[in-house]
């Protein structure tokens, strides 16, 4: 390095190390001051060099000039930001302090349970589909073989929706209409579940005007009640408990023949329910031939089963929750337990 170059390199180092603005201004003046600044003088002296050397020397000097001026600018900007030590106590950051813990949220226990349902049935090869919550009377009742005189249609139970058109609509009272929608858009054989919200004018410890169900539908050439029981038992055991106690008994639903209901043993903590009482959690059966036909499936070639689980009821049994209304009150003391 030439003597001149080592002088500039020294100054460069001093600029980078300057620890205050006055120190930096001093350096700037020393280099670029109009009278006697080291760089100013060096530039003026270029003229004295023989022409053969002048070009290279001028180029080198100009590079240093630009470099040092830029470094001074950068350093000035950096020094303008106060260092931690220069801050007032209140503004100072202590990097050794632990950050306050951010509260971690989690899914509400209903959507969380639905995910488990999708996973358990997914492992058994079931597809997942959803249907509309505002449903036509046709899908919610007629196509499911529910006659106009059936008590399920009663204005006491059903939320009817005012519509401008001819078609009568309801807030779906169950997830069963998705069976028809699915059959009309898929070719058998198939198996699928349909989770979602349903609505009924009902409110007490085991009923809420909005609740959740998931429907299941499996159609094939030789699907029987035995297949249905196997699928349901597997699902109940993995979703609730391997020791879950349940019973199948006959029940009537217009869209299945034969129809069955499944109850699960509910064991509360209080004296009274220690013995356990039975809570209905699901209706099921072999899909009625007329319902298959309504879905565009030929009952002479295909048969299958369907079931409709009440999700809240299952979770109540799983976690021993005595009142269904707790799900929807948004009380964090309740929700945080799960």
Site of interaction with ligand DAH (CB under 6 A): 174, 176, 215, 253, 256, 259, 283-285, 306-308
**Cβ nearer to ligand DAH, comparing 259 with 299:** 259
Q: Regarding beta strands 190-199 and 127-128, do their DSSP bridges make them parallel or antiparallel, or are they unpaired?
A: parallel
Smallest gap, in angstroms, from Cβ of residue 107 to ligand DAH?
A: 24
Task: Specify burial of residue 250 (Cβ count, 10 A radius: 0-12, 13-18, 19+).
Answer: exposed
8 or 141, CB closer to ligand DAH?
A: 141
61 vs 223, beta carbon nearer ligand DAH: 223
CB 111 → ligand DAH: shortest distance, Å?
20
Nearer to ligand DAH, 131 or 285 (CB): 285
Q: What are phi and psi of 45, to 5 degrees?
A: -80, -10
Closest CA to 193 of 293, 307, 109, 98: 307
Smallest separation, CB 166 to ligand DAH (Å): 26
* Alpha helices in the chain, H assignment, sequence order: 3-17, 21-32, 38-45, 51-80, 109-123, 137-140, 177-185, 225-239, 289-294, 311-319, 332-335
**Distance (Å, rounded) from C-alpha 154 to C-alpha 290?**
23
With respect to ligand DAH, which residue has the nearer C-beta, 196 or 283? 283
Least distance (Å) between residue 227 CB and ligand DAH: 14
Q: Show the CA angle centred on residue 149, arms to residues 251 and 141, nearest 5°.
A: 70
Strand order in the sheet with 246-250: 127-128, 190-199, 210-220, 303-310, 277-287, 256-266, 246-250
Q: How far is the CB of 225 from ligand DAH (least distance, A)?
A: 11
In what helix (H) or strand (E) does residue 249 lie, and over which residues does it extend? Answer: strand 246-250
Q: How far is the CB of 309 from ligand DAH (least distance, A)?
A: 8
Q: Is 80 helix (H, G, I), strand (E, B) or coil?
A: helix
Which residue has 């005189």 as its token pair? Answer: 149
CB of residue 259 vs ligand DAH: minimum separation in angstroms?
A: 6
Cβ proximity to ligand DAH: between 15 and 196 the closer is 196
> Of 307, 198, 317, which Cα lies nearest the Cα of 253?
307
Nearer to ligand DAH, 136 or 176 (CB): 176
CB of 230 to ligand DAH, least distance (A): 16
Nearer to ligand DAH, 15 or 286 (CB): 286
199 vs 215: CA distance, rounded Å: 15
């Amino acid at each position: 390095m030439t003597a001149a170059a080592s002088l500039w390199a020294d100054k460069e180092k001093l600029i980078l190390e300057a620890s205050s603005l006055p120190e930096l201004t001093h350096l700037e003046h020393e280099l670029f001051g109009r009278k006697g600044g080291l760089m100013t003088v060096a530039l003026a002296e270029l003229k004295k060099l023989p022409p053969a050397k002048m070009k290279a020397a001028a180029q080198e000097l100009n590079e240093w000039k630009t470099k040092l001026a830029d470094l001074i600018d950068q350093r000035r900007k950096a020094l303008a930001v106060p260092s931690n030590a220069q801050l007032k106590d209140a503004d100072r950051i202590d990097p050794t302090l632990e950050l306050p813990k951010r509260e971690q949220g989690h899914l509400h226990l209903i959507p969380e349970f639905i995910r488990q349902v999708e996973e358990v049935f997914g492992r058994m090869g079931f597809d997942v589909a959803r249907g509309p919550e505002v449903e036509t009377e046709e899908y919610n009742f007629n196509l499911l073989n529910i006659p106009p005189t059936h008590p399920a249609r009663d204005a006491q139970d059903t939320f009817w929706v005012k519509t401008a058109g001819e078609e009568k609509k309801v807030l779906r009272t169950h997830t069963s209409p998705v069976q028809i929608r699915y059959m009309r858009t898929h070719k058998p054989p198939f198996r699928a579940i349909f989770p979602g919200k349903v609505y009924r004018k009902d409110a007490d410890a085991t009923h809420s005007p909005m609740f959740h169900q998931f429907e299941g539908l499996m159609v094939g050439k030789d699907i029987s009640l035995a297949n249905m029981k196997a699928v349901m038992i597997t699902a109940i055991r993995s979703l609730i408990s391997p020791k879950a106690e349940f019973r199948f008994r006959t029940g009537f639903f217009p869209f299945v023949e034969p129809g069955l209901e499944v109850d699960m043993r509910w064991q509360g903590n209080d004296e009274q329910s220690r013995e356990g009482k039975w809570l209905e959690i699901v209706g099921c059966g072999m899909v009625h031939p007329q319902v298959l036909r309504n879905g565009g499936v030929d009952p002479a070639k295909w048969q299958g089963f369907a079931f409709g689980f009440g999700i809240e009821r299952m979770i109540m049994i799983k976690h021993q929750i005595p009142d269904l209304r707790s799900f929807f009150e948004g009380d964090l003391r309740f929700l945080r337990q799960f």
